[in-house]
Amino acid sequence: MARITRTWWGQRFMQALERFTDPGRLARGRSYAGPGRILKHELAGGKVTATIRGNINPYFGVYKEPRYTTTIALAQIDAKHWPTIIDALGSRADLITSLLMNEMPDQIEECFAAHDLHLLPHDRRDFRTTCSCPDYGDPCKHVAGLCYLLASELDNDPFRLFQLRGLERERLRADLARTPLGSILAVSMAVGDEPLVPDPSYYTIPIREPLTAEPDHREFWLGARRLPPPIAGGTGPRIPAMLIKRQGDFPPFWPRDNSFIGVMEEFHERVRTKNPQIKS
């Protein structure tokens, strides 16, 4: 079965839910994570509220498709801890740079763990879930489906975790920008690129230059100075002749005192120059 979430923080979110949820409910919850079941959802006040379609079940006397209201929230971090966490995040250039660029750094949990806190959920105590369905289990399949949907959205927008923990996105960015490192980075990141200006012509536009002297017809046709003499042609390319060269300069069958390879090269050069149509 394909993964709904592909980032490390999305997987950590679902791993915390899987620790205390029945696998059967999770399997049924995956089918509730699509838009065909979750009609609408929104994150406000640190809580995700959704309207989810239920099932018609005449066996239980349900003849009209029900609509259930499902909510998910994480345990809020006390407001008194956020200034300390912001200072810790703002003291590290790697963390604050990623956060100001809307990216989730890998080491962010280190700053929270140093104060016995967590950004990502760890166990059942981190989740606050409700559903209006008659299922006695908590979390039910509707809550599980909404968690799967939320985990997939965290892939694209990890700052929803801060909102679920009680810190809005705008306040997070503003607080980070007020730290010493954040103020420097915010100024440098605010400088945009130079705007692109379209060129008036695809071709190079010629430029008129005034003549420094009267034109001379002879100089125009023959030039102001003589051309340099032609460069003498070099020797032809040497061919690899691997089979010949493998024999060496004095193979066993070669009775002469001069080099066998040298004689073959000279012979090849004579043939090439005497018969131009032969390609070397």
Residue with tokens 């929104």: 42
Residue type, 60: F
Tell me what pLDDT residue 111 has: 86
Three-state SS for 140? coil
Tell me what pLDDT residue 279 has: 54
Three-state SS for 118? coil
Average pLDDT of each block of 10 consecutive residues along the chain (280 residues)? Answer: 70 85 80 83 90 81 85 91 90 85 84 88 87 84 89 87 90 87 74 72 84 75 77 60 73 81 83 65
Contact status, residue 144 vs residue 17, Cβ threshold 8 Å:
yes
Three-state SS for 3? coil
Tell me what pLDDT residue 51 has: 93
Strand pairing partners for 43?
48
Tell me what pLDDT residue 1 has: 39
Any residues with CB less than 8 A from the CB of 43 and at least 6 apart, and which? 160, 163, 164
Contact status, residue 41 vs residue 25, Cβ threshold 8 Å:
no
Q: What is the distance between the alpha carbons of residues 174 and 176, in angstroms, rounded to a whole number? A: 5
Angle subtended at Cα 160 by Cα 30 and Cα 25, rounded to the nearest 5 degrees: 20
For residue 103, with 0-12 CB atoms within 10 Å meaning exposed, 13-18 middle and 19 or more buried, which class applies? exposed
Three-state SS for 145? helix
Q: List b or e across 263-277, with b for residues whose CB sees 16 or more CB atoms inside 10 angstroms.
A: eebeebeeeeeeeee
Residue with tokens 């079940």: 57
Of the candidates 134, 153, 136, the one whose C-alpha atom is nearest the C-alpha of residue 145 is 153
Tell me what pLDDT residue 2 has: 45
Q: What is the distance between the alpha carbons of residues 30 and 25, in angstroms, rounded to a whole number? A: 9
Kind of pairing between the strands at 127-131 and 38-44? unpaired
Tell me what pLDDT residue 72 has: 92
Tell me what pLDDT residue 208 has: 86
